[in-house]
Amino acid sequence: MLPPRYLDGLSDEIIEIYSQLESDILQDMARRIARVGKITDMTKWQAQMLAEAGGLKKNISRILAKYDKAIVKQVKDTFTEALETSAKNDNRIFKAATGRTVSAPNAQQMLATIQKCHSDLSRLTLTTAATTQTQFVREANRVYMNVQSGAFDYDTAMKDAADELAKRGITTVQYENGRPVTRSIESAVRMNILTSVNQTAANQTLNNCEELDCDLVETSAHIGARPEHEEWQGQIFSRSGNNKKYRPFSVCELGSVTGICGINCKHSFYPYFEGMAEHYTEKELDEMASEEVSYNGQKMTRYEGEQKLRGIERNIRHYKRQALTEEAAGVDNTKARRKLGEWQAAARDFTQQTGIERDRAREYVGTGGKQPRGIEPAQSKIAGTPATPPSTPPAFNNTLGNATTIDTAKHELESFANYVAIPKDTDLMSINTVTKQLEALQANYKTNKLDTIAFSGRLSIRTGASANFESLTVNKKVKEFGKSVLQPDEWAHRMSDGVKHYTEQKKYLNTLIANTTDPAYISFYKKQIHETEKKLAQCTEYVKYKRGNVCYKGLEVETTIAHEYGHIIADQRIGQLNGRIANRAFEYRRGNPLYDKCMMIDDVFNKAKANGDIYKISAYGAENPREFFAETFAIFAMKQETLPQYILDMILEVIK
| Per-residue model confidence as pLDDT tens digits over 403-458 | 889 989 999 999 999 888 898 888 899 999 999 999 999 988 989 999 889 998 87
**Contact (Cβ atoms closer than 8 angstroms) between residue 580 and residue 509:** no
User: Could you tell me whether strands 216-219 and 236-238 are parallel, antiparallel, or unpaired per DSSP bridges?
Assistant: antiparallel
Is the pLDDT reported for residue 146 higher than 50?
Answer: yes
CA 43, CA 403: separation in Å to the nearest integer? 66
Q: What is the pLDDT of residue 557?
A: 93
* 443: three-class secondary structure by DSSP: helix
Picking from 274, 265, 279, the residue whose alpha carbon sits closest to that of residue 220 is 279
Work out the burial of residue 90: count CB atoms within 10 Å of its CB; fewer than 13 is exposed, 13-18 middle, 19 or more buried: buried
Please give the torsion angle defined by the CA atoms of residues 547, 550, 552 and 558, in that order, rounded to the nearest 10 degrees. Answer: -160
Distances (CA, A) of 30 to 63, 158, 366, 584: 15, 8, 16, 63
Q: What is the pLDDT of residue 440?
A: 92
Give the chain's length.
656
Q: What is the pLDDT of residue 152?
A: 66
**Contact (Cβ atoms closer than 8 angstroms) between residue 621 and residue 636:** no
Radius of gyration of the chain (CA): 30
Is the pLDDT reported for residue 108 higher than 90?
Answer: no
Q: What is the pLDDT of residue 528?
A: 83
CA 95, CA 105: separation in Å to the nearest integer? 17
pLDDT one-digit tens code per residue, 131-144: 777 777 777 777 77
Picking from 409, 368, 434, 387, the residue whose alpha carbon sits closest to that of residue 21 is 368
CA 54, CA 49: separation in Å to the nearest integer? 9
Work out the burial of residue 588: count CB atoms within 10 Å of its CB; fewer than 13 is exposed, 13-18 middle, 19 or more buried: exposed
Q: What share of the chain is helix, strand, coil (3-state, %, to 5)?
A: 60, 10, 30
User: Could you tell me whether strands 465-467 and 471-475 are parallel, antiparallel, or unpaired per DSSP bridges?
Assistant: antiparallel
Distant-in-sequence, close-in-space partners of 312: CB < 8 Å, separation ≥ 6: 343, 346, 347, 350
**Contact (Cβ atoms closer than 8 angstroms) between residue 386 and residue 404:** no
Task: For the chain, report the end-to-end CA distance as a whole number of angstroms.
Answer: 68
453 phi and psi angles, rounded to 5 deg: -125, 125
CA 374, CA 436: separation in Å to the nearest integer? 40
Is the pLDDT reported for residue 50 higher than 80?
Answer: no
Instruction: Grade residue 516 by pLDDT with cuts at 50, 70 and 90.
Output: confident
Instruction: Grade residue 270 by pLDDT with cuts at 50, 70 and 90.
Output: confident
Distant-in-sequence, close-in-space partners of 126: CB < 8 Å, separation ≥ 6: none
Work out the burial of residue 495: count CB atoms within 10 Å of its CB; fewer than 13 is exposed, 13-18 middle, 19 or more buried: buried
502 phi and psi angles, rounded to 5 deg: -70, -25
Q: What is the pLDDT of residue 126?
A: 66
CA 510, CA 513: separation in Å to the nearest integer? 5
Is the pLDDT reported for residue 521 higher than 50?
Answer: yes
The one-letter amino acid code at 186 reads E
pLDDT one-digit tens code per residue, 361-407: 677 776 555 678 888 776 544 444 333 333 344 444 667 888 889 98
